[in-house]
Amino acid sequence: MSDTAPTARGRRQSPLFQLRGELDGRTRLMLGVAGVATLLIGWEAAARVLAGDSILLPTIGQTLTALQELARSGELWGDLGASLRRVGIGYAVSLALGVVLGVAMGSLASAEASLEPVFGMVRYIPASALTPLFLLWLGIDESPKLALIVVGTVFYNVLMVADVARSVPTPLINASYTLGAGRLTVLRRVILPHSWPGIIDVARINLAAAWLMLVVAELLAADQGLAFRIVRAQRFRQVDRMFALLLVFGLIGVASDLALRALKSWTSPWARA
């Protein structure tokens, strides 16, 4: 295969600059490594240039040392477990509701007409603004934290899954009816399998919002969690610990994104991009 690709006017150009062009695996890996290396080099350079100024920015070495201290003390593992548990439970509930209601809205005109205006309006209410109500209604234990994560992500999950379900080709559904399939069979054998890759993409996109809601949730009388530990480090100006915990957030995000990509590739190989 040639290293260049034709353009609309017949000229040939590198795949690096081709609109919607495809890159081989080696090139993607090299560009990814280069991007991460650029970020790390910029971080280290900024930390050394700003050393001693009013802007506190630890070096990469100081951040890794702080991360090692947190791991050795056991604080990291307790906080990590608490945060993962909250996001796991809250986002699982949100995603389950999103799939059920979203597929219904994307498949049934009656469900769309009755539910979409409600979700379209309520999703503009900031979930963080409901924090005082959750504290009044649910107390200060885990319940308000989980509720905040659910409410902060469920409306986006519902509307985006509905769009995915609407993308199922109508001729495909009509052909299923022609072959004698009933509505439940069409839903189970046509709409859900066709929507599954898109549902995983929705889960990937909105998982970031779940972690954002976690930061707010762990300010609600929490005594453990990654965001709680960041705020505690801020009180004592332990910026190296703050960056270490932010690094953990980033690593969790990369790991979860890769896991969901792998799940999509494994369960729906026909949808590989």
Answer whether residue 65 shows pLDDT above 80.
yes
DSSP string, 117-171: HHHHHHTTS-GGGGHHHHHHHH-SSHHHHHHHHHHHHHHHHHHHHHHHHHTS-HH
Least confident of 114-123, 186-195, 228-237, 264-273: 264-273
Dihedral angle computed from the Cα positions of residues 136, 137, 141 and 144, in that order, rounded to the nearest 10 degrees = -100
Beta bridge pairs of residue 12: 6
CB 158 within 8 A of CB 119: yes
**Token representation of residue 248:** 């953990």
What confidence tens digit (pLDDT) does each residue in 154-194 have?
999 999 999 999 998 888 888 888 888 788 888 888 899 99
Residue with the larger pLDDT of the pair 145 and 28: 145
What confidence tens digit (pLDDT) does each residue in 96-140 have?
999 999 999 999 889 999 998 888 888 888 888 888 888 889 888
When computed from its CA atoms, the radius of gyration of the chain, rounded to whole angstroms, is 23
